[in-house]
Structure 1
Amino acid sequence: MLAPSQFSFVFSKAIPAGSPTITILARFNDCGRARLGITVPKKKVKLAVQRNRIKRCIRESFRLNAHAFPNIDIIVIAKHGVADLSNAALHKQLSSLWKRMKQRCQ
């Protein structure tokens, strides 16, 4: 998802799932597939290298789990402390959030 209107659509009536470092919001769509939007604010993660690493990990984790989602738009929001996580820890946290989101969207 790229357009601000798509993000606003999800924010208006979102189904949340969260952890101390990541929040996931979702809402059913009419596209026929799951879509992903990512926000990693500069205030929360200072260095561009870290922001890009986090976004790559989120995209890869979503790619591996997208087949199991219904038709939903998902927004992943990074919080303070996410830059301190290793890639393995980030993938582990995301996989538990994906499972929680699947349960809430059924």
Structure 2
Amino acid sequence: MTVLSDSQPVAVAAARLDALARQTLPKTVRLLTPKDYQTAFQQAEKFANRHWTLIVKANQQPLPRLGLAISKKQLARAVWRNRIKRIAREAFRQHKIDLCGYDIVVLGRKGTESVTSAQLHASFEHLIKKIKLSELNKLSVKEQA
């Protein structure tokens, strides 16, 4: 079976849509290399609340990408760090479509080990809303200029 060169972009687009629709986090939606993280930290916006700090930078891709940087200094026990990562991945997975076009690095904060999972999830969703509002504000400023 031969593949036409014109159909290849269609296949790539279909794979990207599949990655958004899936209930998993494939490699295409994760920051994997140190270079990915460095790029995400350069000229990025910071969104924070009591439980999370999100470093957000627009990328040139149709998919959002997630990076986790939960340090031992912030959360001493591995159980706490793993729990925070699990909650962040789940919240990101549920809101992948809302975050298209962004690289997001999640930083853990001290004191989150004693907060309930529901509170952490709600807190993460609040930051996602702030990101979307920031995006809308930037678009309205560009339209006015």
TM-score, scaled to structure 2: 0.69
CA contact (8 A) 1:13 1:27 kept: yes
Question: Which blocks of at least 5 consecutive residues in structure 1 are unaligned?
Answer: none
Alignment of 1:53-72 (within 5 A): 53-72=83-102
Q: Which amino acid aligns with 2:71?
A: P
Pairing partner for 2:107 from 48, 64, 77: 77
Pairing partner for 2:80 from 50, 66, 87: 50
Q: Which has the higher contact order (CA 8 A, sep 6+)?
A: 1
CA contact (8 A) 1:38 1:77 kept: yes
Q: Which amino acid aligns with 2:75?
A: V
CA contact (8 A) 1:70 1:105 kept: no
TM-score, scaled to structure 1: 0.93
Pairing partner for 2:53 from 23, 28, 36: 23
More helix by share: 2
Give the Cα separation in 2 of the matches to 1:5 and 1:104. Answer: 26
Q: Percent identity?
A: 31
Give the Cα separation in 1 of the matches to 2:94 and 2:130. Answer: 16
How many pairs does the alignment contain? 106
Query: Runs (4+) of structure 1 moved beyond 2 Å?
Result: none
Question: What SS is found at the alignment partner of 1:105?
Answer: helix
Q: What is the Cα-based RMSD across aligned positions, in Å?
A: 1.1
CA contact (8 A) 1:15 1:104 kept: no
Report the more deviating stretch, 56-65 or 29-38.
29-38
User: Is it true that 1:8 corresponds to 2:53 in the alignment?
Assistant: no
Residue matched to 1:39 = 69
